[in-house]
C-alpha cells in the first residue's frame, strides 16, 4: 500500500495506539465526571469525543483502520467495544493484564512482524491532546518516511515546550541528522524524566523538548532492541509466532504474559538500547499529556476550549 502527502508516495506505515493504561492519577476527576472509575482514554475531557476516539481520528488522517492496531486490556473490554463498534474499526489486540509499556510495544511489534515483516510502525499514546491534527500527522508521516529509508533508526517526536513542566519526560537534542519536509531531525543526546523545577527551567532555556512518546521504528528493529534490553520479556513474546489465529492467540498471549516482567519501554529500552535514536521537533501546535486533574484543567484553559462536562452528583 502507498499513500501520498504533498505529492510524495511511500509504503503506508502501521499505527499502534496504546490504550491499556489505567490513568490512576486522573481518577478523582473521572469519578467526578462519570460517577465511576474508568480509564481516562475512554473519557471525553476536551470536547465531545473521548481521548481514544480523538487519537483514532487523528491517526486516521494518514493511516487507515486496517493498518491501525489498538492495544487494549481485557478488563477494559466494555469500553473498547463502545469505541470500536463502527464497521471500519481498527484491529484490536488484547492484553490479559498490564505488564507495562514495554510489553504493549513489543506485543504489537511481534504481531506486525508476523503479518508484515520489517514494516514501519508509529506508536501513539491514547491520552494526549493535540490542537492541529493535520499538521501533526504530516510530521508523523515524514518521520515514518525517514524510518522507511533508514530502518536502523528510531525517531521520536519532541514538542517545543512553552513552560518548565516538571511532570513530563524531556529529550535533549544532539547534533543535526537530516531534514524531512520542514522538520529537522536531531540525534538524541539524552532523556530526562520528571526533572525538578530548577532543572526544568534549565532544560527549557537550553532548547530541550517534551517527549511525546509518539515514535516511529520498524517491527524488526523494535524486536532486536527488545532482545538486547529486555531479553526475558522478548523471549516470552517470541513464543507467539505462529499463534495469531483465534482461540490459539488468546491462549498464547495469556501464557506469555503469565510469566512476563513488568517493564517500562522508555526507561528499559529507549534509554538503554544501542540502536540510534533521533528526535523530530514539533512546533506550531499545542500538545499536552493529560496525566492529572490539574494538567487537564490547565490544558482546557490553555486552548480556550470548554469541555462538555456533566458531572455525576451522588
- What integer pLDDT is reported at residue 10 of this predicted model? 54
pTM of the model: 0.91
| pLDDT over threshold 70, residue 61 | yes
68-73 and 14-18 beta bridge pairing: parallel
- Among the residue ranges 40-44, 96-100, 232-236, 279-283, the one predicted with the least confidence is 40-44
The per-residue pLDDT for range 280-311, each reduced to its tens digit, is 999 889 898 887 777 777 777 766 555 444 44
Residues 4, 9, 12, 18, CA torsion sign: negative
| Mean of all residue pLDDT scores within the chain | 89
Positive/negative CA dihedral, 245, 250, 254, 257: positive
Are the beta carbons of 79 and 86 closer than 8 angstroms? no
* pLDDT tier, 6 (very low <50, low <70, confident <90, very high otherwise): very low
pLDDT of 102 > 70? The answer is yes
Q: What is the pLDDT of residue 290?
A: 80
pLDDT tens digits, one per residue of 254-272: 999 998 999 999 999 999 9
Q: What percent of the chain has pLDDT over 90?
A: 67
pLDDT of residue 2: 43
Tell me the backbone φ, ψ of residue 243, rounded to 5 degrees.
-115, 25
pLDDT tens track for 156-171: 999 999 899 998 999 9
More confident residue, 307 or 245: 245
Statement: residue 25 has pLDDT above 90: no
Distance CA 58, CA 128 (A): 11
Chain centre to alpha carbon of residue 54: 13
What are 128-137's pLDDT values in tens digits? 999 999 999 9
pLDDT (0 to 100) of residue 311 = 47
Look at residue 23 and tell me whether its pLDDT is greater than 80.
no
Choose among 186, 191, 169: nearest CA to 270: 191
> Does 69 or 8 have the greater pLDDT score?
69
Average confidence (pLDDT) over 221-225: 97
Higher pLDDT among residues 87 and 120, named by residue: 120
Compute the average pLDDT of residues 215-226.
Answer: 97
Sorted by where each starts, the structural domains of the chain and their CATH numbers stand as 2-151+212-263+287-303 (3.90.550.10)
Model pLDDT, residue 305: 54
Cβ(186)–Cβ(176) under 8 Å? yes
Tell me the average pLDDT across 172-195. 92
pLDDT for res 81: 92
d(C-alpha 125, C-alpha 205), whole Å? 27
The DSSP secondary structure of 140-200, one letter per residue, reads HHHHHHHHHHSTT-EEEEEEPPSS--SSSEEEEEEEEEEEETTEEEEEEEEEEES--HHHH
User: Within a 10 A sphere around the Cβ of 238, how many other Cβ atoms?
Assistant: 15
Amino acid at each position: 500500500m502507498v499513500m501520498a502527502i504533498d505529492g510524495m508516495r511511500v509504503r503506508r506505515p502501521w499505527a499502534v495506539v496504546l490504550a491499556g493504561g489505567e490513568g490512576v492519577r486522573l481518577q478523582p476527576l473521572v469519578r467526578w465526571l462519570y460517577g465511576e472509575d474508568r480509564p481516562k482514554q475512554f473519557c471525553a475531557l476536551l470536547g465531545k469525543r473521548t481521548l481514544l476516539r480523538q487519537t483514532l481520528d487523528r491517526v486516521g488522517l494518514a493511516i487507515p483502520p486496517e493498518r491501525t492496531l489498538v492495544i487494549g486490556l481485557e478488563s477494559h473490554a466494555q469500553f473498547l467495544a463502545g469505541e470500536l463498534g463502527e464497521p471500519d474499526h481498527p484491529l484490536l489486540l488484547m492484553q490479559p493484564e498490564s505488564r507495562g509499556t514495554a510489553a504493549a510495544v513489543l506485543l504489537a511489534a511481534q504481531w506486525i512482524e508476523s503479518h508484515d515483516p520489517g514494516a514501519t510502525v508509529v506508536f501513539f499514546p491514547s491520552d494526549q491532546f493535540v490542537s492541529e491534527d493535520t499538521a501533526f500527522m504530516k510530521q508523523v508521516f515524514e518521520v515514518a518516511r525517514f524510518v522507511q529509508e533508514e530502518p536502523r533508526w528510531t525517531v521520536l517526536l519532541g514538542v517545543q515546550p512553552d513552560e518548565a513542566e516538571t511532570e513530563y519526560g524531556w529529550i535533549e537534542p544532539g547534533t543535526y541528522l537530516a531534514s524531512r519536509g520542514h522538520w529537522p531531525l536531531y540525534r538524541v543526546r539524552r532523556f530526562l524524566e520528571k526533572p525538578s523545577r530548577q532543572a526544568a527551567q534549565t532544560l527549557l532555556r537550553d532548547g530541550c523538548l517534551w517527549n511525546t512518546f509518539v515514535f516511529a521504528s520498524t517491527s524488526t528493529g523494535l524486536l532486536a532492541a527488545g532482545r538486547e534490553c529486555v531479553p526475558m520479556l522478548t523471549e516470552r513474546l517470541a513464543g507467539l509466532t505462529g499463534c495469531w489465529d483465534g482461540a490459539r492467540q488468546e491462549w498464547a498471549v495469556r501464557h506469555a504474559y503469565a510469566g512476563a516482567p513488568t517493564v517500562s519501554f522508555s526507561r528499559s529500552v529507549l534509554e538503554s538500547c544501542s540502536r540510534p535514536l533521533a528526535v523530530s521537533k514539533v512546533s506550531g501546535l499545542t500538545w499536552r499529556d493529560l496525566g492529572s486533574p490539574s494538567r487537564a484543567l490547565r490544558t482546557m484553559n490553555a486552548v480556550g476550549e470548554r469541555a462538555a462536562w456533566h458531572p455525576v452528583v451522588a
